[in-house]
Amino acid sequence: MIRFFGQMVAAFAVLAAFSAMAQPVDTGHLVAELVARDATVTPGATTYVAVRQKIDKGWHTYWRNSGDSGEATKIVWTLPTGWTAGDIVWPTPQRQPTGPLMNYGYHDEVLLPVPITVPASARPGETVTIRAAVAFLVCADICVPEDAALTLTLPVADGLAQPDPKWGAAVARTLAQAPTPAGFTAAFARQGAGLALAITGDALKDADVADAYFFPFDSTVIDHAKPQAIERGPQGLTLSLTPGYAFQEGAGPKAMAGVLSLGGQAYEISAEAGALPPGASGLGPPAKLEGAALGLPLAAAFAFLGGLILNLMPCVFPILAMKAASLAGHAHDRRAAQAQGLAFLAGVLATFLALAGVLIAARAGGAAVGWGFQLQSPPVVAGLALLMLAVALNLSGVFEVGTSLQGAGSGLAGRQGLAGAFFTGTLAVVVAAPCTAPFMAPALGWALTQSAPAALAIFLALGLGFAAPFALAAFAPGLLSRLPKPGPWMGGFKTLMAFPMYGTAAWLVWVLTVQAGDTALARIFVAAVVLALAAWLLGVAQRRRAEGGKPFALAGIGAVLAIAAALAAVWPNYGARETVTADAPSAGGKASVPYQAYSPEALAAARAAGKPVFVNFTAAWCVTCQVNEKVAFETQGVADAFKATGAVYLKADWTLKDAVIAAELAKHGRAGVPLYLVYGAKGGDGVILPQILTEGLVVRALKDAQDR
């Protein structure tokens, strides 16, 4: 009878607790209440009490790291003497993109369990009331701070606690699905402008990692809004992240912790800065990436060879033809030829080192830039187009630089001629920037991960290789003697060389329209007409001066117009196009391969589908890229190969600045485009193709990818 009476008392206590728990609070945009895992609590044991949020449709609250904005839910407990509360057990959050930001949090309904430790002195048969003051930030298009004062009455009883009939299963399920440590091995390391996080462990060997995502506990370690590319390996995976503010001061953090979400499962991980664990991705550790283990001597040798080959790139032909004509004019004056060669060398080296200095400084400041970075700026492209037009007008005889019309060519051996040779070296580097020759890519990729002195040494080697043919030719009497003697032919050759420069200017205008849209044409055409008028007025002034007249007014007007044209072209108010495509689908009977815009998510989805993937890292200003488009991609054979293999074609367009593409280039040890990657249908490493492509090479790569 006494035992039965005790059971009845306990039952009434439980019913009383149910009544106490059924008191939710409507804060305005959510309903909050305290719910328990257990119907009763036992002295000396731990129970779980959760803050339940029933959130209005379209609104959300935040995780412990809210991401780019927002604020986590906070709880302040008021407990009986001897009772203690632990930390919130945070469920895996959902991603909440908001404009350009990425936040982490919850919508609809979420339970935030907290462990509550019951003291051994608690007396069975008594009931206790626990209180929680909870602060929420609830957001939709706007954010509203809301508060709730919640209470819960719990009965104390002997024996094992029984689950709460209403909320026990939900709290237990939340605890079971919460991220837990899994004994993974994790490490992170900088890779160029990016950050690689590698995780290995038995639980990852057969896991589906297609939707893997890293939620860091610290809001400053990554750029939350940037995508996270996934590379699957035999023992785990590697995520390519974009470093956050924590990496912009000093060497960055020594450790990084957070939650690795794999769709239906989530794990807490803690990574240390250092070497990446082997087997995390198909790419392997950074030391195996192309260019990563070159070392200074080999990287310098690669840079020198790349500079030599750069002379064969089509973008450099017009300038080199001009230099060849200049050397021919001094072929039979050894001292003058040598002075010309050294001045050309000085111009090349000075310009290469200047570009290198700007590039290194920009990357040190956190900018994702690489070789050819200056051509990602529409004002710079517009200014270069006008510069090429001015050079073409000069070669056409509209005006002269450094000499009069009567003595054209006669002063080139003097000081003015040396200045012209220096300028020719500068101009050669400027027009070579859109090209990347073989051997250059791994050398520059290595250089931009090293200290500034090592990087400058690589650019110096690149400049020496680029200038070597003409600088050495000037000191080779046997070669100089074979060049034609100066004569009337030089005037005609000079005029002929104007037309490649007109073509270069036109190409740069096309690049500008790709970057800034068709409206940019009006500005650049007006600036070009004004510049042409300025050049003509300067030429008239030079002719009048040669005839003994006073041309100062015309020369002044021409100078003012030239300055106005330059300012109109480079004034930085070009609007970038929302979608940039390096080239439109082919027309006029040429084959066209359908493609998708590259993103880490698109690459991961295509690889997860078991298809070969061809990724083309390109840019409108990259001459090598455009030549490859015509020679290797706009052919029927390549179009048929894509169709036959079912390969997915992704284009990563770097015409304008793109930090995601820059990070991916750096991941593969590259500092510029082109880069061609082919992934096999069965997974594994991406194969890097040569920078100069042919139709047969692409077709073979696609067929090989189908079988691997």
Per residue in 221-261, pLDDT tens?
A: 999 988 888 887 777 888 989 888 888 755 678 899 999 99
> In this predicted structure, what is the pLDDT of residue 485?
66
Which residue in this structure is represented by tokens 């050759």?
Answer: 493
Last residue of a domain, one of 238, 263, 288: 288
Asked if residue 580 is part of any domain, the answer here is: no
Cα three-residue angle 490-495-501, rounded to 5 degrees: 125
Q: Is 376's pLDDT higher than 80?
A: no
* Helices 378-395/552-570 angle, 10° precision: 150
Least confident of 109-113, 324-328, 448-452, 687-691: 324-328
The CA distance from 688 to 84, in Å, is: 58
> In this predicted structure, what is the pLDDT of residue 309?
84
Q: Is 349's pLDDT higher than 80?
A: yes
Whether residues 363 and 304 share a domain: the answer is yes
Residue 280's pLDDT band (cuts 50, 70, 90): low
Of 344, 311, 305, 322, give the one whose Cα is nearest residue 432: 311
Residue 412's pLDDT band (cuts 50, 70, 90): very low
Residue 406's pLDDT band (cuts 50, 70, 90): very low
Per residue in 308-323, pLDDT tens?
A: 888 776 666 666 666 6
Whether residues 392 and 506 share a domain: the answer is yes
> In this predicted structure, what is the pLDDT of residue 264?
76
Per residue in 20-72, pLDDT tens?
A: 444 899 999 999 999 999 999 999 999 999 999 999 999 999 999 999 889 99
Average pLDDT for 582-600: 65
Whether residues 341 and 435 share a domain: the answer is yes
Q: Is 3's pLDDT higher than 50?
A: no
Within 13 Å, how many C-alpha atoms sit on residue 331's CB side?
A: 16
The CA distance from 156 to 15, in Å, is: 13
**pLDDT above 90 as % of the chain:** 29
Of 473-487, 510-524, 650-664, which has the strongest mean pLDDT?
Answer: 650-664
Q: Is 15's pLDDT higher than 50?
A: no
Q: By residue range, what is the domain housing residue 71?
A: 2-177
Whether residues 155 and 242 share a domain: the answer is no
Asked if residue 585 is part of any domain, the answer here is: no
Least confident of 63-77, 182-196, 422-436, 577-591: 577-591
Which residue in this structure is represented by tokens 């069965």?
Answer: 682
pLDDT, averaged across the chain: 79
Whether residues 304 and 230 share a domain: the answer is no
> In this predicted structure, what is the pLDDT of residue 407?
36
Asked if residue 577 is part of any domain, the answer here is: no
The order of strands in the sheet holding 675-679 is 596-597, 648-653, 613-618, 675-679, 686-688
> In this predicted structure, what is the pLDDT of residue 160?
84
Residue 289's pLDDT band (cuts 50, 70, 90): very low
CA 74 to chain CA mean position, Å: 35
Q: Is 411's pLDDT higher than 70?
A: no
Q: Is 4's pLDDT higher than 50?
A: no
Whether residues 565 and 603 share a domain: the answer is no
Per residue in 144-180, pLDDT tens?
A: 999 999 999 999 998 888 899 999 999 999 999 999 8
Asked if residue 578 is part of any domain, the answer here is: no
Q: What is the CATH number of the domain that holds 124?
A: 2.60.40.10
Cα three-residue angle 444-445-450, rounded to 5 degrees: 90
Q: Is 507's pLDDT higher than 70?
A: yes
Whether residues 278 and 300 share a domain: the answer is no
Q: What is the CATH number of the domain that holds 661?
A: 3.40.30.10
Whether residues 34 and 92 share a domain: the answer is yes
Q: What is the CATH number of the domain that holds 262?
A: 2.60.40
Query: What is the number of helices (H) and of strands (E) in the chain?
Result: 19, 24
Average pLDDT for 540-546: 79
Q: Is 604's pLDDT higher than 80?
A: yes
Asked if residue 589 is part of any domain, the answer here is: no
Whether residues 202 and 169 share a domain: the answer is no
Full-model pTM: 0.45
Whether residues 209 and 334 share a domain: the answer is no
Residue predicted with more confidence, 432 or 17: 432
Residue 285's pLDDT band (cuts 50, 70, 90): very low
Whether residues 334 and 432 share a domain: the answer is yes
Asked if residue 591 is part of any domain, the answer here is: no
Query: Helix, strand, or coil here: 618?
Result: strand
CA 503 to chain CA mean position, Å: 31
Question: Which distant-in-sequence residues (6+ apart) come within 8 Å of 679 by Cβ?
Answer: 603, 606, 607, 612, 613, 614, 615, 685, 686, 687, 705
Amino acid at 586: S
> In this predicted structure, what is the pLDDT of residue 78?
95
Asked if residue 192 is part of any domain, the answer here is: yes
Whether residues 621 and 481 share a domain: the answer is no
Of 251, 250, 231, give the one whose Cα is nearest residue 239: 231
> In this predicted structure, what is the pLDDT of residue 416?
45
> In this predicted structure, what is the pLDDT of residue 584?
40
Asked if residue 581 is part of any domain, the answer here is: no
Residue ranges in 61-216 assigned as alpha helix (H) = 168-177
Last residue of a domain, one of 156, 177, 198: 177
Last residue of a domain, one of 177, 201, 225: 177
> In this predicted structure, what is the pLDDT of residue 448?
67
The CA distance from 621 to 178, in Å, is: 49
Q: Is 575's pLDDT higher than 60?
A: no
Which residue in this structure is represented by tokens 């290194």?
Answer: 360
> In this predicted structure, what is the pLDDT of residue 647?
93
Residue predicted with more confidence, 267 or 17: 267
Residue 581's pLDDT band (cuts 50, 70, 90): very low
What is the domain count for the chain?
Answer: 4
**pLDDT above 70 as % of the chain:** 77
Residue 17's pLDDT band (cuts 50, 70, 90): very low
Residue predicted with more confidence, 291 or 674: 674
Q: Is 410's pLDDT higher than 60?
A: no
